[in-house]
Amino acid sequence: MNKGASIAVGVIAAATLAAGGGYWLGTRGGAGHGGTAASVTTATHAPASESAKKERKLLYYRNPMGLPDTSPTPKKDPMGMDYIPVYEGGDEDAGGEPAAANQIKISTAKIQKLGVRTEAASLRVLDKIVRAAGRVEPDERRIFTISPKFEGYVERLHVNVTGQPVGKGQPLFEVYSPDLVSAQREYALATQGVQAMKDAGGEAQSSMQQLAESALMRLKNWDISEEQLKALAKSGGTKRTLTFRSPVSGIVTEKKAVQGMRFMPGEALYQVADLSSVWVIADVFEQDIGLVKTGAKAQVKINAYPDKVFEGTITYVYPTLNAATRTVPVRVELANPGLLLKPAMFAQMELPVGGKGQVLTVPDSAVIDSGTRSIVLVQAKEGLFEPREVKLGARSDNYIEVLEGVKDDEQVVVAANFLIDAESNLKAAIGGLGGHAGHGSAAKTDAASPAAKPAAAGHKAEGTVDSVDAKAGTVSLSHGPVETLKWPAMTMEFKVANTALLKDLKPGTSVAFEFVERQPGEWVITGIKPTGSAKTASQTAPASANSHAGH
């Protein structure tokens, strides 16, 4: 064998030994870690991944809220959120193109997971309907009270029930009064004296005439009708009783008169209301009162007549505001044919308000309001979102006018699977969308690590059963932190995928469960077991546990 052949044989032998040794080491490593291919692959490519990380050049740290603020060193924003590192070449999950300092970059997979939807900002006329709850009240100008101006007794009642309809001039009751009898007698005597002194001197005749006029004025001041006065003058006598009549057509809304009772001057015996026209007093919220004008046509709906709409006119906006409800009363006057509208009925007023022409608008769901500022997420391009502070104007039921911050036809985010917590909706919304929820290490991992993967759809947690509602198919759990969602420990209600999952659950039971988000804001439990059996299951399924380890 020549020298070249010896070298070739040596190389082949070395290669064979290396392959055998590698196989032996690989099988030993697999036996120690469950023998999965995943562990071998991870071990093989780990150095390459680490070298790729080292090769990426750190450019700067950007504001986690997407504001145009960068820093060459790590820092926190006023909300305590870590600034996000930006590397040369951008985020692999978002396509490799670096995002600007004021943009949020997320992957297509995460967009689909979050359920992000966009809609173009557009010009439209903002038509709004001002809605207000109210009540039916009688027209105050059509309410009449019958109160005798002298002392007397109720001799007889012609109308003796509350709610009875009466016509104008219809007799209500008869009264007897000694003062009235005396006044009638004085008037009769004075009238007779005027007739007897026709031929007397001018001074005597004038004095008698003044006496007669004085007696007549006294009867008129007591609301004795002209018809009754003429009858007295014609008969020349007196009547024991006097009849009081209704001054208007309407409904007797109050009756205090009882037959035989004594009444004093000014005492209200009857109240009659004309309900052919009524008021609706609607309580309009403070923010809408600027849109309400007198003379505007309003629609009124009554619960008792769901198929009817009553048309009315706003006749007065009251000058006072109810501090407790922050509402201003508004009077709507409307006809009441058939007397369908009863005083004290509840009513719903709707007032269509026209816009001031076409204005730039976005859907109301696109605006994230922190209380101190309003933000809209604008889609710069696929996977790139830019938070912008906007100045808002008028509002309709579904759209809001944008005065500054957004241009016509720009795509704005109108729906996303935001993780809303009780502390700050704005922080959770922008934090979740940008891949940072205020937890420094998690935020950096998602933005900087090229090996980061989209979160799995399923989530796991452990907790205690508070209550079970088998009929509604829900269970209330006090659970611990959920790392995959960055949730703290809390108590919340879950739906279950199948009511059979509830059969072994009782309040106080410790459980381990897995859940998914079926649609935005709807969390559904797909598996739940008492803690003991759940731990056993997790020990026998390391691959399944591994799928959540990265979250």
Give the E-state strand segments of 139-213 in sequence order.
143-146, 152-157, 165-166, 171-176
Contacts of the segment 67-73: beta carbons below 8 A, 24+ positions apart: 67/102, 67/387, 68/101, 68/102, 69/101, 70/101
Residue 535 has pLDDT above 90, yes or no: no
Report the pLDDT value the prediction gives residue 433, as an integer from 0 to 100. Answer: 45
pLDDT at 342: 93
Q: Is 16 exposed, middle or buried (0-12, 13-18, 19+ CB in 10 A)?
A: exposed
How does DSSP assign 490-539, residue by residue?
A: EEEEEEESSGGGGTT--TT-EEEEEEEEEETTEEEEEEEEEHHHHHHHHH
Residue 99: the pLDDT is 52
Look over the chain and give the mean of its residue pLDDT values, rounded to a whole number: 75
Percent of the chain with pLDDT over 70: 71
Q: What is residue 134's predicted lDDT score, i.e. its pLDDT?
A: 94
How long is the chain? 551
The torsion angles phi and psi of 236, rounded to 5 degrees, stand at 75, 10
CA atoms within 13 A on the CB side of 385: 30
Residue type for position 543: A
- Please tell me the chain's helix, strand, coil percentages from 3-state DSSP, rounded to the nearest 5: 30, 35, 35
Tell me the torsion sign for CA atoms 210, 212, 218, 223. negative
Give 458-549's CATH code, choosing from 3.40.50.150, 3.40.50.620, 2.40.50.320, 2.40.340.10: 2.40.50.320
- Please count the other Cβ atoms lying within 10 Å of the Cβ belonging to residue 526: 16
CA atoms of 87 and 98, how far apart (whole Å): 8
pLDDT at position 455 over 70: no
pLDDT of residue 34: 39
Contact 154, 181 (CB under 8 A): no
Dist. CA 175–CA 157, nearest whole Å: 9
Which has the higher per-residue pLDDT, 107 or 20? Answer: 107
Measured distance CA(21)–CA(511) in Å, rounded: 46
Instruction: Find the helix packing angle between 178-196 and 226-235, rounded to 10°.
Output: 60
Q: Give the model confidence (pLDDT) of 238-258 as tens digits.
A: 788 888 999 899 999 999 999
User: What pLDDT was estimated at residue 428?
Assistant: 37
Q: Which residue has the tokens 């059996």?
A: 533
Q: In whole angstroms, give the CA distance from residue 69 to residue 389.
A: 14
Positions of E strands within 436-509: 458-469, 474-479, 490-496
Rounded to 5 degrees, φ, ψ at 413 are -75, 125
HSE-up (13 A, CA, CB side) for residue 116: 25
Residue with tokens 């659950």: 505
Residue 449: predicted pLDDT: 36
Contact 300, 334 (CB under 8 A): yes
Q: What pLDDT is recorded for position 75?
A: 87
pTM of the complete model: 0.49
Cα–Cα distance measured from residue 295 to residue 316, given in angstroms and rounded to the nearest whole number: 8
**pLDDT at position 464:** 93
- pLDDT score at 159: 94
Residue 166 is predicted with a pLDDT of 94
Which one is predicted more confidently, 488 or 433? 488
CATH for the stretch 130-139+274-353: 2.40.30.170
Mean pLDDT of 438-459: 42
Position 147 pLDDT exceeds 80: yes
Give the least confident one: 16-20, 57-61, 417-421, 464-468. Answer: 417-421
Residue 518 pLDDT > 80, yes or no?
no
> By mean pLDDT, which of 284-298, 339-353, 442-456 is the weakest?
442-456
**In which element (H, E) is residue 306 found?**
strand 305-317
Average pLDDT over residues 452-467: 71
Alpha carbon distance 71, 431 (integer Å): 19
Q: Could you tell me the pLDDT band of residue 236, with boundaries at 50, 70 and 90?
A: low
Burial 112-135 (b: 16+ CB within 10 A, else e): ebbebebeebeeeebebebebebe
Q: What is the average pLDDT across 308-314?
A: 94
Query: Which runs of E-coded beta strand occur in 12-150?
Result: 58-62, 70-71, 84-87, 104-105, 117-120, 122-125, 128-138, 143-146
- Determine the pLDDT at residue 153: 94
Side-by-side strand order, sheet with 70-71:
70-71, 58-62, 84-87
Pairing of β 152-157 and β 128-138: unpaired
Q: Is the pLDDT of residue 269 over 50?
A: yes
Least confident of 116-120, 158-162, 288-292, 327-331: 116-120
Question: Within 10 A of 29 (CB to CB), how many other CB atoms are there?
Answer: 13
Is the model more confident about 362 or about 9? Answer: 362
Q: Which of 162, 146, 99 is nearest to 246 (CA)?
A: 146
- In this prediction, residue 220 carries a pLDDT of 82
Distance between start and end Cα atoms, the chain: 61
In the prediction, which pLDDT does 82 show? 80
Comparing 470 with 8, the larger pLDDT belongs to 470
Contact 203, 278 (CB under 8 A): no
The closest of 396, 406, 416, 411 to 119, measured between CA atoms, is: 411
Residue with tokens 């009251």: 318
Q: Is pLDDT above 90 for 263?
A: yes
Q: Average pLDDT, stretch 270-274?
A: 94
Which residue did the predictor score with more confidence, 389 or 346?
A: 346
Task: Summarize the confidence of residues 382-392 as an average pLDDT.
Answer: 82
State pLDDT tens for residues 168-224: 989 999 999 888 888 888 887 887 777 777 766 677 778 888 888 888 888 888 878
Overall average pLDDT of the 472-485 stretch: 89
Residue 537 has pLDDT above 60, yes or no: no
pLDDT tens figures, 95-129: 445 455 566 676 677 667 667 788 888 888 887 88
Q: Evaluate whether 130 touches 292 at the Cβ level (below 8 Å).
A: yes
Distance, in Å, from the CA atom of 3 to the CA atom of 85, rounded to the nearest integer, reads 59
Q: Which letter, b or e, does each residue of 444-465 get, where b requires 16 or more Cβ atoms within 10 Å of its Cβ? A: bebbbbeebebbeeebbbbbbb
pLDDT (average), residues 145-161:
92
How does strand 399-404 pair with strand 411-415?
A: unpaired
* CA within 13 Å, CB half, 60: 13
Burial class (CB in 10 A: 0-12, 13-18, 19+), 511: buried
What is the pLDDT confidence band of residue 295, given thresholds at 50, 70 and 90? very high
